[in-house]
C-alpha cells in the first residue's frame, strides 16, 4: 500500500508495452541475437529520474544480454491495469505493487511462486510488514522492495520552550506527559483527527490485538476485544490533547497544512509531511524533528503500519530468469542502500537500517519499521477499506457513543465485508 504523503502524483498516459518476440520462460530471443527485452513497471515516484538512470546504466553494464525497459505507472487505476495484465499473454516481466495488494493478485494465479528464492534474496532479514503481505497461502510471491511508515513530526522550538526532550520520549506514558505540556492556550499539543485509523491499528498491535483474525476458516473483525478497546482508550486520550476534528481523517483538511499554520506541536505522519509543512510555511524550515511512535514500554518502539511496495513476476512473463535477475539486483544490498539514500525510504531488510542514519526522518522511520505490520493478509481486506467501518467506529467512540457497543457493531461489519469479498 502506497503512503502517498511521501510523494506527489501526477497523471500521465500509460506507456505502450514493449513485448518480447517469442514465448518461453527465458528462451525468447530478439532480432539482435539473443538479448532479452525486459519490461518492468515501476510506480510514479518510487524512484527518481536520477536513480532510475543510475540503476539502468549499472544494470545494463552488469547484464549486457538484457535490454531493460522501465515504464513508470500511476497509482490511480493501477489495480485494474495489473489485473488485466496478469490475465493476458502479454504481461510485463516485473511489476511493482503495493505490499497489501499482493494477496489479491496471487489468489488469481497470475504470479510466479518465488518461495524457493527467499534464501538467495536474504529473506531472513526482510521487514515483516513487507514480507508477510507478500506471501499468500504459504508461498512467497512478493519480494520486499522498500518501506515507509509513520513517525511523529514535531516542532523543535515548541518542545524546547516547554522543556521537553524528544529523545526522552520512549513510552506512551512519556508521550502523553510531554503532549500535555505542549497543549497550552491556543497551541495544540498534537493534531490528531478522529479517523486516523492507521495510528489506531498500531496501538491495537501494541496491545497484542488485531483488526481481524482467522476463525474457523473465516475472517472475524476484532475491534471489540479487550486489547483493541484498550488501544482505542489510549487513542481517545491522545486525541483530546489537540483540536483535531473527530469526524474526519488526516487528509481532511491535510494535517501538514494545519501544522504549517504554526499552532501545532506534533502530528503523526510519514516524514515527507515535513516537506509539505515547510512548503506552506518556509519559516518552519529547520524547526522540524522526528521520533518514532512510542511503544508501551521503552524497550521497543510502537508498532506502525508498514506501507511500501513489493516486486512481483507475472506467471506470463516471457523472461522469468531475467526478471529474477532484475528483482535480485534492485532488492539487493547495494541498490537498496542507494535507493534509501536517494528517496528517504526504509530499505527492505532490517540489516540495512543504518543506511539511512544520515537522514533524520528516514532514520526515525527505520526504527519504527522494525515493529512494522500490515493489514490482514487477505483479498477481502480491500472491501473493508472501501466501506471503512473503523472510521465510523472511531468517530462514534470519540463523540459519546458506547465504545464497546460501537466496536461490536464495527467488528460485525468487518466480518461481513471480509467474508463476502473473499
Left, alpha or beta for 187 (phi > 0: left; psi -120 to 50: alpha)? Answer: beta
Residue 162 shares a structural domain with residue 286: yes
pLDDT of residue 30: 39
**Average pLDDT value for residue range 77-100:** 94
The residue to which cell 531488510 is assigned:
349
Residue 34 shares a structural domain with residue 131: yes
% of residues, the chain, pLDDT over 90: 84
Query: Is pLDDT above 90 for 146?
Result: yes
CATH number of the domain where residue 165 is located: 3.40.190.10
Cα separation, 97 vs 103, whole angstroms: 11
pLDDT of residue 421: 64
Residue 41 shares a structural domain with residue 100: yes
- Long-range own/partner contacts, residues 53-58 (CB < 8 A, 24 or more apart): 54/338, 55/329, 55/330, 55/335, 55/338, 58/335
Residue 97 shares a structural domain with residue 129: yes
Name residues whose C-beta falls within 8 Å of residue 202's C-beta, 6 or more positions apart in sequence.
Answer: 150, 293, 302, 303, 304, 305, 373
Residue 355 shares a structural domain with residue 389: no
Query: Is pLDDT above 50 for 195?
Result: yes
Residue 400 shares a structural domain with residue 354: no
Band (pLDDT 50/70/90 cuts) for residue 217 is confident
Name residues whose C-beta falls within 8 Å of residue 132's C-beta, 6 or more positions apart in sequence.
Answer: 373, 374, 377
Going by C-alpha positions, the residue among 207, 234, 374, 192 that lies closest to residue 297 is 207
Band (pLDDT 50/70/90 cuts) for residue 34 is low
Mean pLDDT of the chain: 91
Residue 136 shares a structural domain with residue 203: no
Q: Before 253, cis peptide (omega within 30)?
A: yes
pTM of the predicted structure, to 2 decimals: 0.85
Left, alpha or beta for 218 (phi > 0: left; psi -120 to 50: alpha)? Answer: beta
Range of the domain at 267: 151-305+376-421
Provide the residue count of the chain: 422
pLDDT of residue 422: 58
Cα separation, 356 vs 343, whole angstroms: 10
Residue 96 shares a structural domain with residue 213: no
Out of 370, 391, 410, pick the residue that ends a domain.
Answer: 370
Lowest model confidence (mean pLDDT) among 45-49, 63-67, 111-115, 204-208: 45-49
Residue 158 shares a structural domain with residue 93: no
Residue 38 shares a structural domain with residue 180: no
pLDDT of residue 13: 26
How many distinct structural domains can be found in the chain?
A: 2
**pLDDT tens digits for range 386-415:** 899 999 999 999 999 999 999 999 999 999
pLDDT of residue 396: 98
Lowest model confidence (mean pLDDT) among 12-16, 56-60, 114-118: 12-16
**Average pLDDT value for residue range 314-339:** 97
Lowest model confidence (mean pLDDT) among 29-38, 135-144, 353-362, 393-402: 29-38
Lowest model confidence (mean pLDDT) among 1-5, 24-28, 52-56: 24-28
**Average pLDDT value for residue range 30-37:** 61
Query: Is pLDDT above 80 for 364?
Result: yes
Residue 159 shares a structural domain with residue 130: no
Q: Report CA 22 to chain centroid distance, whole Å.
A: 37
Residue 126 shares a structural domain with residue 272: no
Burial class, 57, CB count within 10 angstroms (exposed 0-12 / middle 13-18 / buried 19+): exposed
Neighbouring-strand partners of residue 215: 218
Going by C-alpha positions, the residue among 356, 380, 313, 323 that lies closest to residue 146 is 356
**pLDDT tens digits for range 277-322:** 999 999 999 999 999 999 999 999 999 999 999 999 999 999 999 9
In 3-state terms, what secondary structure has residue 251?
Answer: strand
Out of 329, 351, 370, pick the residue that ends a domain.
Answer: 370
Amino acid at each position: 500500500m502506497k503512503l502517498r504523503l511521501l510523494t506527489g502524483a501526477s497523471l500521465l498516459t500509460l506507456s505502450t508495452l514493449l513485448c518480447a518476440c517469442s514465448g518461453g520462460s527465458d528462451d525468447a530471443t530478439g532480432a539482435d541475437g539473443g538479448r532479452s527485452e525486459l519490461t518492468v513497471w515501476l510506480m510514479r515516484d518510487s524512484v527518481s529520474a536520477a536513480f532510475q538512470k543510475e540503476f539502468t546504466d549499472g544494470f545494463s553494464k552488469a547484464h549486457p544480454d538484457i535490454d531493460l525497459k522501465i515504464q513508470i505507472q500511476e497509482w490511480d487505476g493501477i489495480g485494474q491495469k495489473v489485473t488485466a495484465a496478469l490475465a493476458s499473454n502479454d504481461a510485463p516481466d516485473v511489476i511493482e505493487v503495493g505490499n497489501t495488494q499482493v494477496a489479491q493478485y496471487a489468489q488469481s494465479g497470475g504470479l510466479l511462486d518465488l518461495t524457493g528464492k527467499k534464501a538467495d534474496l536474504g529473506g531472513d532479514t526482510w521487514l515483516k510488514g513487507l514480507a508477510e503481505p507478500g506471501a499468500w497461502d504459504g508461498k512467497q510471491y512478493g519480494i520486499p522492495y522498500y518501506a515507509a511508515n509513520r513517525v511523529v513530526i514535531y516542532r523543535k522550538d515548541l518542545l524546547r520552550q516547554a522543556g521537553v526532550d524528544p529523545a526522552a520520549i520512549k513510552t506512551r506514558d512519556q508521550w502523553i506527559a510531554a503532549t500535555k505540556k505542549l497543549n497550552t492556550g491556543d497551541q495544540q499539543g498534537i493534531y490528531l483527527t478522529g479517523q486516523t485509523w492507521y495510528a489506531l491499528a498500531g496501538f491495537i498491535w501494541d496491545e497484542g490485538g488485531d483488526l481481524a483474525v482467522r476463525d474457523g476458516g473465516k475472517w472475524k473483525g476484532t475491534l471489540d476485544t479487550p486489547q483493541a478497546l484498550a488501544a482505542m482508550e489510549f487513542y481517545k486520550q491522545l486525541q483530546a490533547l489537540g483540536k483535531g476534528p473527530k469526524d474526519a481523517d488526516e487528509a481532511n483538511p491535510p494535517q501538514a497544512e494545519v501544522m504549517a499554520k504554526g499552532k501545532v506541536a506534533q502530528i503523526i505522519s510519514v516524514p515527507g509531511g515535513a516537506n509539505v509543512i515547510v512548503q506552506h510555511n518556509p519559516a518552519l524550515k529547520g524547526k522540524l524533528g522526528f521520533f518514532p511512535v512510542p511503544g508501551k514500554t521503552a524497550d521497543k518502539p510502537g508498532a506502525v503500519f508498514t506501507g511500501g511496495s513489493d516486486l512481483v513476476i507475472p506467471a506470463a512473463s516471457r523472461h522469468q530468469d531475467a526478471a529474477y535477475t532484475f528483482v535480485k539486483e534492485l532488492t539487493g544490498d547495494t541498490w537498496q542502500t542507494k535507493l534509501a539514500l536517494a528517496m528517504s525510504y526504509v530499505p527492505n531488510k532490517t540489516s540495512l537500517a543504518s543506511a539511512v542514519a544520515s537522514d533524520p526522518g528516514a532514520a526515525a522511520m527505520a526504527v519504527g519499521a522494525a515493529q512494522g505490520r500490515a493489514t490482514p493478509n487477505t483479498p477481502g481486506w480491500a472491501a473493508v477499506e472501501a466501506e471503512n467501518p473503523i472510521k465510523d467506529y472511531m468517530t462514534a467512540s470519540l463523540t459519546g457513543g458506547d465504545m464497546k457497543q460501537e466496536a461490536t457493531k464495527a467488528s460485525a461489519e468487518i466480518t461481513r465485508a471480509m467474508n463476502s469479498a473473499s
